Amino acid sequence: MESTRSPTTTPGVETRPKSLVTADIVVLVGYFLLVLAVGLWSMWRTKRGTVDGYFLAGKSMTWWPVGASLFASNVGSGHFIGLAGSGAAAGIGAVAYEWNGMLMVLLLGWLFLPIYVASGVTTMPEYLQRRFGGRRIQLFIAVLYLFIYIFTKISVDMYAGAVFIQLALQWNIYLAVVVLLSITALYTVAGGLAAVIYTDALQTVIMLVGAMILMGFSFTEVGGWQALLDGYSSAIPSIREPNTTCGIPREDAFHLFRHPVNSDLPWPGVLLGMSIPSIWYWCTDQVIVQRSLAAKNLIHAKGGSLLAAYLKVFPFFMMVLPGMISRILYPDEVGCADPDVCKEVCGNPVGCSDIAYAKLVMELLPDGLRGLMMAVMLAALMSSLTSIFNSSSTIFTLDLWRNIRKQASEWELMIVGRVFVLVLVCVSVLWIPLVQASQGGQLFIYIQSISIYLQPPVSVVFMAGCFWKRTNEKGAFWGLLLGLIIGCVRMILDFVYPMPLCDEEDTRPPVLKYVHYLYFSIILSAITVAIVVCVSLATKEPLPEQISGLTWFSRFETVVRSEKSTHTVTEAREDSPENHANETSSNGAGHDQRHGSVSTQASVSAGSRLKRACLWICGLDKPSEGTGAPAPPPPDATINSLEEDRCMRGVVDANLIVCLSVAVFLIAYWA
């Protein structure tokens, strides 16, 4: 299978990939119109003039849109590109993250969500502020979340979508990013969590249908299941370095649990080191938890977690196996092992496994279906980006800016939130070259390795706060700070000393060379736990108001709030959009009475209509007099949300057992 370096001997490298035809463009445009119509319909039918209405969809969502939105928010274009790329490069190992996620999303519904519901919070930094008091942990977590969104979410999703556009339309990757952001800006006009959730539900259906169609074409092309098992091990590129392992598929490609020392995903790390960051993502991440909090009650939230868990079975069949098939069909392109050839194929000398899924779409699907899959990828990308932008601007505006400028008006907060989104986008675009060069071209592994370095301390602090009453502010803060410093040191070393290519000597420091990032997750979590426990026991116990209704064991207790926290809630309500709109309207009315001319009245009337239109688009429209929305319930009334119908609780608990059994069977079968 080896040969000299001659481009003419590399099948497919010189061949220009297929591009979209008229039928594909028609399907693409039709799908975007459908998504936009669903978004506008959702915006029209929901009340976005309140905090609950805009950020939590009025807490009126049933289980199926919640579950579909959880799945769509998690499985975006980054998953399609990244999981298929990891499957092409290293086999089925990366699906362990998906099946681990099945367990963690159930943990959210049954253990963490009742605590968040009882506490009555909207954001995760807000929960930590109520649980531990003070402001420094809230500010610290808010800043950290924004960095994590940049490193592992926004830039990765944009890069994944750009890879797809680049292959389909042969555009420059940065031009593709600009196009994606422009379309996303238009889609954001339909804002509000309700619109995002309903469009996510639509995208989930199309995503499943389109991905299953592509899987069928892929298995037909390769010759069936047995041909996949036999063909992957021999999918070796014709140009590679002799006497090395470059370009040779792994022998353990079809094993989930791999050698504990010499493999890319050691099995002890898969069992333990993978779960801690997964708890952060599924149980404490603002983007995920916000959807569960939008459910009308706890039963529907649990039902949403169950649906998302069942749907997490499919990425193995929709993405990983097609990625492996792509390597069999196109070994010289998807499996390229020579930097010069890889640079020619995909512009990335490190490797081209990330083009595996897009290559299948462009080569195997007939006209029309290619446009459908393109629409699915880009719609999933835009949905995830709008969700992340919304959550990021919410955290920055409410948890950071409002602490910096306590007297900031509602209009100032709106402007700051939108400007911050632009800043966030610019930083993410600048980060793309590093994403492209990291982790041997395996996008999904890049995401997970960065997560390992930043997320375990946050997971430990949340778990300690939720399940150990004795945890106090000092213990949580110092555990978080020292744990993140250690994690950041490892992350910086990873970028300074990248993993060598297969034909290069490994000269990295021992902490990188001999300590796998999954093992590092276990070590980092243990250090953080030790710091939290020791500092908490050596300092004062938390106050009763930091315990009642804020932990698993006190979730049914009457929520205690100090005068300071009550005053904060009152201030927030006085600065609400409705009150600001009422003040503006009253001032306008007074001005109109003082200037009673007909022309002025017409001008004010026209200005008022324009203002009402702008307020409606932004979700800050003033309710009609006499038909305004009822005042929101006091925060202490959230305890009633923990009530569950006994019959329905039995149904979801039975489904919990079934879902856990499915997860255990899948993991054991492929172990």
Of residues 167, 570, 670, 107, the one with CA closest to residue 377: 167
**According to the model, what pLDDT value does residue 438 have?**
52
In the structure encoding, which two tokens stand for residue 264, read together?
A: 């890319």
From CA 154, how far away is CA 180, in angstroms rounded? 12
**According to the model, what pLDDT value does residue 594 have?**
41
Task: Show the DSSP H helices in 539-576 as ranges.
Answer: 563-574
Of residues 551, 560, 556, 561, the one with CA closest to residue 465: 551
Contact 143, 396 (CB under 8 A): no
From CA 458, how far away is CA 460, in angstroms rounded? 5
From CA 671, how far away is CA 667, in angstroms rounded? 6
Tell me the residue range of the domain where 260 lies. 7-439+642-670
Which tens digits make up the pLDDT trace of 350-372?
778 888 888 888 888 888 888 88
**According to the model, what pLDDT value does residue 446 have?**
62
278 occurs within a structural domain: yes
307 occurs within a structural domain: yes
**According to the model, what pLDDT value does residue 476 have?**
95
333 occurs within a structural domain: yes
In the structure encoding, which two tokens stand for residue 534, read together?
A: 């020791």
272 occurs within a structural domain: yes
55 occurs within a structural domain: yes
Instruction: Write out the DSSP string of 518-585.
Output: HHHHHHHHHHHHHHHHHHHHHSPPPPGGGTTTTSSTTTTSPPP--HHHHHHHHHHHHTSHHHHHHHHH
CATH at 173: 1.20.1730.10
88 occurs within a structural domain: yes
Residue 401 Cα distances to 19, 147, 408, 412, angstroms: 46, 16, 8, 10
Terminal alpha carbon distance of the chain: 30
Contact 316, 209 (CB under 8 A): no
Which tens digits make up the pLDDT trace of 242-251?
766 777 888 8
Which portions of the chain are predicted below pLDDT 50? 1-17, 51, 189-190, 439-441, 563-605, 622-640
182 occurs within a structural domain: yes
From CA 128, how far away is CA 135, in angstroms rounded? 9
How many structural domains does the chain have?
Answer: 1
Q: Taking the C-alpha atoms of 587, 591, 594 and 600 in order, what is their torsion angle to the nearest 10 degrees?
A: -150
What element of type H or E holds 485? helix 473-496
In the structure encoding, which two tokens stand for residue 3, read together?
A: 């040969």
From CA 98, how far away is CA 448, in angstroms rounded? 11
pTM, two decimals, is 0.80
The alpha carbons of the chain give a radius of gyration, in whole angstroms, of 26
435 occurs within a structural domain: yes
One-letter amino acid for residue 607 of the chain: G
Contact 327, 88 (CB under 8 A): yes
